[in-house]
Chain A
Amino acid sequence: MNAVAVVGLDCVFPAAHGIEAFWDLLMRGGDAIGPLPADRGGPGFDDTVRGGFVDSATTFDNDFFTISPREAAAMDPQQRLLLQCAWRALEDSGRAPSALAGSDTGVFVGVMGSEWGQLHMSDYGRVTPQLGAGSSAGMTANRISYHLDLKGPSLAVDTACSSSLVAVHLAVNSLLAGECSTALAAGANLVLTPALGMVYQQMGLKAPDDRCKPFSVDSDGIGRSDGVGVVVLRPLEDALAAGQRIYAVIRGTAVNQDGRSNGVTAPSRWSQQAVVAAAYRRAGVDADQVRFIEAHGTGTALGDIIECAALGEVHAVPRDEPCAIGSVKGNIGHTEAAAGIAGLIKTALALHHRIVPASRFAARENPQLRLAERGLALLKAPLRLPAGEVVAGVSSFGMGGTNAHAVLASAPRLRAVAARGPATAGVFTLSADTPEALRRNLAAQAESLARRPRGDAASVCWTSNQVKTGLPYRAAFTARDTAELADALRTAAGDERTCARVTDRALRPPAIAFLYPGQGCQEPGMTAALYQESATYRRHLDEADDALRDHTGASVRDLVLAGDPAIHHARWAQPALFAVAHALTQTLAELGVVPDAALGHGTGELAAAVAAGVLTLPDAARLVAAHAAAADDLPDGGMLTVSVAREEITDLLADHPGLSLAAVDGPRDLVLAGTADVLERAAEALADRGLSTRRLGGPHAGHGPAADAVAARIADLAGPVTAAPARIALASARHGRMFGDEIPDTAYWADLAVRPVRFADALSALVTEIAPTCLIELGPAPHLLRLARRADLSAGIRLLHPAPGRATVTDLAEAVGGLYLSGVEPCWDALYEPSHRRTERLAPYVFSDARRFRQTVPAQPPPRPAAQAAPAAPATPAAPAAPEATPRQADPAPATHPHHSDGPGTAADARPDAALSAVIEAVVEVGAYPREQVDAEARIYEDLGFDSVMIMQLRNRLEQQLPQASGITVQQLLPALRSVGTLAAFLRELTSAEVTV
Chain B
Amino acid sequence: MTARTALMHIAGTASALPAEPVDNAALSDIFGISEGWIDLFVGTRTRHFGWDPATGKVTHTLADLCAEAAGRALAAAGLAAADLDFLVLSTATPDTLLPTTANETADRLGLNHLPTYQIQAGCSGAVQALDVARALLASGHHAGLVVAGDVTARFLQAGQDASALATQELINYVLFGDGAAAAVVTAEPHGDAVAVRGLLHRFAGRGRPPGQIVGWRGVTEPEPDRQMLFEDYKTIEEEVPALAGEIVWELLSTADWTPQQVDFILPPQLSGLMTERIVAGLGLPPGCREVSCVRDTGNTGNALPLLQLDRALDSMAPGERALSVVVESSKWIKAGLALERLAGPEEGGRGR
Q: Residues of A at under 8 Å CB distance from B?
A: 27, 352-355, 382, 384, 387, 413, 415-422, 452-456, 459
Contacts and interface: CB of A to CB of B under 8 A. Distances in A.
Most interface-central of B78, B83, B108 (chain A CB within 10 A): B78
Contacts of A455: 68, 71-72, 75
Nearest to A383: B113
A413 B83 contact: yes
15 contacts: A353-B82, A355-B112, A355-B113, A387-B85, A413-B80, A413-B83, A415-B191, A416-B79, A418-B346, A419-B78, A420-B76, A420-B350, A454-B64, A455-B71, A455-B72
B12 A418 contact: yes
B248 interface: no
B78 A416 contact: yes
A453 B78 contact: no
A387 B83 contact: yes
B142 interface: yes
Nearest to B77: A418
Contact of B72 (A353, A416, A456): A456
Contacts of B148: none
A387 B12 contact: no
A384 B115 CA distance: 11
Nearest to A354: B82
B102 to A, nearest CB: 14
Nearest to A353: B82
Nearest to B65: A454
A27 B16 contact: no
A384 B71 contact: no
Given A454-B67, A455-B68, A418 B76 contact: yes
Contacts of A387: 83, 85, 142-143
B334 interface: no
Contact of B68 (A27, A354, A453): A453
A453 B75 contact: no
Interface in B51-78: 64, 67-68, 70-72, 75-78
A902 B350 CA distance: 52
B252 interface: no
B225 to A, nearest CB: 40
Contacts of B208: none
Interface of B: 12, 16, 64, 67-68, 70-72, 75-80, 82-83, 85, 108-109, 112-114, 142-143, 190-191, 314, 346, 350, 352
Nearest to B349: A420
Contacts of B142: 387
B155 to A, nearest CB: 23
B239 to A, nearest CB: 38
A353 B75 CA distance: 17
A624 B183 CA distance: 53
A453 B71 contact: yes
A452 B71 CA distance: 9
Nearest to B60: A454
Contacts of B143: 387
Contact of B109 (A353, A417, A453): A453
A682 to B, nearest CB: 48
Closest 4 pairs (CB-CB, A-B): A453-B67, A416-B78, A453-B71, A454-B68
B69 to A, nearest CB: 8
A456 B75 contact: yes
A189 B72 CA distance: 42
Contacts of B80: 413, 416
Contacts of A454: 16, 64, 67-68, 71
B83 A419 contact: no
Contacts of A354: 82
A508 to B, nearest CB: 40
Most interface-central of A353, A452, A453 (chain B CB within 10 A): A453
A353 B80 CA distance: 10
Nearest to B140: A386
A918 to B, nearest CB: 58
A382 B78 contact: no
A452 B75 CA distance: 13
B78 A415 contact: yes
B112 A418 contact: no
Contacts of B113: 355, 382, 384
B109 to A, nearest CB: 6
Nearest to B352: A421
Contacts of B191: 415, 418
Nearest to A420: B350
B187 to A, nearest CB: 10
B296 to A, nearest CB: 15
Contacts of A353: 82, 112
Contact of A419 (B70, B75, B82, B109): B75
Given A387-B85, A418-B12, A453 B112 contact: no
Nearest to A351: B82
Most interface-central of B16, B67, B82 (chain A CB within 10 A): B82
Contacts of A382: 113
Nearest to B142: A387
